[in-house]
Structures are given as structure tokens and as C-alpha cells.
Amino acid sequence: MISRIWHGWTTLNNADDYESLLRSEIFLGIENLKIEGFKGIHLLRRKIGDEEEFITIMWFDSIEDVQTFAGEDYEVAVVPLKARALLSRFDEKSQHYEVKASRLE
């Protein structure tokens, strides 16, 4: 299994709108792609000073499945225009890790 990790930051004022956009449009859009090997997505959020940090963790069976989602240059971040309008900064590239163990219930 592959974990795709990405970070983005908003102002405090944009944080709730950004989270709402992720939940109501972006995540549903990803799910509707019906990518074989896409297992799901997690959203993490925390306040740091005058910003909110968001981390998305996507789960795929293989790098080939990640490429189906993100393209041949799969490390490049996939950030829709609506999201870019709410973000103050973000990772230009996502990190990919092979999952070696998991103990979720």
C-alpha cells in the first residue's frame, strides 16, 4: 500500500471554508473518479499561530494507482483552482511512502 501525503495552509479566516470545500466537493470528486486501487483519504487539521495547517493522506494499492490519479509526474500536487484561492501556501509536491504496517481498528 502507498500513502500519499500533502500539506496546505490557510489563514484562520479561510480554514472553515477550505475544509468545507474539501469535504463537499474535492473528496467527493476524487471518489467519483472510481480509481481502482484508491482506498480512501484522511484529513488532518491544526492551528499553528495565525494559520491553519491541513494534511491530506491518501491511500492507494500501488504507485501505478497514484499515477492514475495524479499523472505520470505523480509527485506534483493536485490542487484545484477553488482550493488554491483559499490556501495561503501549499506543498508543490506530495510525498509517497510504502506502508509497512497498520494497526487501525
pLDDT band for position 104 (50/70/90)?
A: confident
16-72 pLDDT tens trace = 999 999 999 999 999 999 999 999 999 999 999 999 999 999 999 999 999 999 999
Least Cα distance to 79 among 68, 94, 65 occurs for 94
Please tell me the distance from the alpha carbon of residue 3 to that of residue 38, in angstroms, as a whole number: 10
